[in-house]
Structure 1
Amino acid sequence: MRDAVLAVARLGGGVLSGATAGLAALRSRAKPLHPRGEVWQGRLVRSGNPASATGVVWLDEPGEDAVLVRLSAAIGLPSLTWDIAGLAIRLSDEGDADVLLATTGAGPLTRFVLLPTLAAHQSGLTTLLPYRTPVGPLFLRAVPEGGSGSETSTRYTLAYARGLRGWVDFAHLELVQRSEAHVSFDPVLSSPPGLGIYPWVALLRAPAYARARRSRGDSARHEGAGP
């Protein structure tokens, strides 16, 4: 069964890599994925949640992280309303670990479904694919606390869900000021402490990020292809 899952993930990774190459060939922008966006400096304040411990210190215990955040549109369509919104978070205090989220549903099944940007103000953005933790598969979610339509939300509530269970709030993210930093993200190469990457997730995602780096002539870790 495990070999079958890895084989399917490897095939899917090849398909996504090919799609990324196609986008790179069609556009002149440096980023074939999430070409349009804005970067913010911010802070992430974790309240922790010992009553629903996951075995991941970064989720279970309170703390504060300095972050760089990029808000973006996945495809770069003329109208952001019907694009896929991206929210990328770099945890500067955790070895530059990256978290990438996109607009999806929030239910047990719809959290696996990408949705247009407007969904960000309703169901929020999730990691779409799970992390590996001591308590099993775990998803992260960010829900805007303000702003609607074309307005930029500067505050988000962060939550996690174990498998298909409900969401548990554990932190608040605040965008403090715009940044001129040119930064991209790669959630496969560096994830938050305690949040592991399943082999099948790496096989599915890594080829597209590598392809995007090659299309830009980049090889360094911080020149990933994320949002």
Structure 2
Amino acid sequence: MTIGPSHDRRLRPATAAAATLLAGAFYGWARLRHGKPIHTRGSVHTARLIRHGLTAAELPAWFTRPGEVYGVARLSRGLSVPRPLPDVLGLALRFPGPAGSPSDLLLSTTGLAPFARHLMLPRRDPARVPYTTLTPYRSEHGSVLFAALPAPAAHRAGAGGPLLRFTLASATPMSAWQPFGSVELTPPPAGLVDPPVAFDPVLHPLPGLWLPQPVARIRAASYRAARRGRAGRLDELEAVPAGSPDEA
């Protein structure tokens, strides 16, 4: 649906109020925790993203062109609820885009049906549950959501131990999921538990995609406030491990 000028004017005060409220909460919570306000603890992995070259009308060309690229992934628990209790789990991916700049994709545990894609659901096992982007991205062809679905061989052994594997899929808000690639997560190096990496999908957009303006404004304010609250460093926003170069 296209938002007309009068509708957009009505949205702006509400968006500004929500951004201010959440930014204050994220700043205060980060100060209290002396760290990230949410997804405080996690594990960082090297990620291998493979695009199979499948056609999806809602996706920009970068996603539908065959290719392989290495990046970084972080698995985390949203509220840091102690195990074995369930928590809203997160999967954050960072990979170099076509120009080499970082692109961030943040996903949380949700349902997969059209109306359940926007509901965060507590889960236990990060390797055996689906993740989605919660809110749609925009492209020249419409709205698109992303999902990471646990692959059947989720615990296949790799060179350094168990290898986590997810199928990457896209969908419009009401359509079925269509796989377009996969991502493999290798175990963290010995002694490297959770190095400081800060993900920001507003500063690091996906190739050919952007967040709707109200969502981008609210998330940008929250991420900035969280970094200020925990005295985060700017280099955390640029951390991408060296890997195979992707095609332009």
Q: So what's the TM-score if we normalise by structure 1?
A: 0.86
Partner of 1:210: 224
Matches within 5 A, 1:70-109: 70-79=74-83, 81-93=85-97, 94-109=100-115
In structure 2, do the counterparts of structure 1 residues 66 and 53 end up closer, same or farther at CA, with 3 Å as the change threshold?
A: same
Matches within 5 A, 1:132-171: 132-145=138-151, 146=154, 154-171=164-181
- Any idea what SS the aligned residue of 2:72 has? strand
* Equivalent pairs, count: 218
- Any idea what SS the aligned residue of 1:84 has? strand
Partner of 2:64: 60
Structure 1 gap segments, 5+ residues each: none
Paired with 1:153 and 1:16, the residues of 2 have a C-alpha distance of 36
Which of 173, 176, 185 aligns to 2:183? It is: 173
Partner of 2:245: none
Identity %: 35
Contact 1:100 1:187 in 2 (8 A): yes
In structure 2, do the counterparts of structure 1 residues 78 and 17 end up closer, same or farther at CA, with 3 Å as the change threshold?
A: same
- Any idea what SS the aligned residue of 2:186 has? strand
Per-residue deviation, 1:121: 6.4
Per-residue deviation, 1:14: 2.4
In structure 2, do the counterparts of structure 1 residues 64 and 6 end up closer, same or farther at CA, with 3 Å as the change threshold?
A: farther
Deviating more after overlay: 190-199 vs 213-222? 213-222
Contact 1:135 1:162 in 2 (8 A): no
In structure 2, do the counterparts of structure 1 residues 23 and 140 end up closer, same or farther at CA, with 3 Å as the change threshold?
A: same
- Any idea what SS the aligned residue of 2:188 has? strand
Per-residue deviation, 1:107: 1.3
Per-residue deviation, 1:120: 5.9
Structure 2 gap segments, 5+ residues each: 1-6, 156-161, 239-248
In structure 2, do the counterparts of structure 1 residues 106 and 121 end up closer, same or farther at CA, with 3 Å as the change threshold?
A: farther
Per-residue deviation, 1:218: 3.0
In structure 2, do the counterparts of structure 1 residues 79 and 118 end up closer, same or farther at CA, with 3 Å as the change threshold?
A: closer
Paired with 1:217 and 1:53, the residues of 2 have a C-alpha distance of 42
Q: So what's the TM-score if we normalise by structure 2?
A: 0.79
Contact 2:123 2:129 in 1 (8 A): no
1:8 aligns with 2:22: no
- Any idea what SS the aligned residue of 1:193 has? coil
Q: Whose helix proportion is higher, 1 or 2? A: 1
Per-residue deviation, 1:13: 2.1
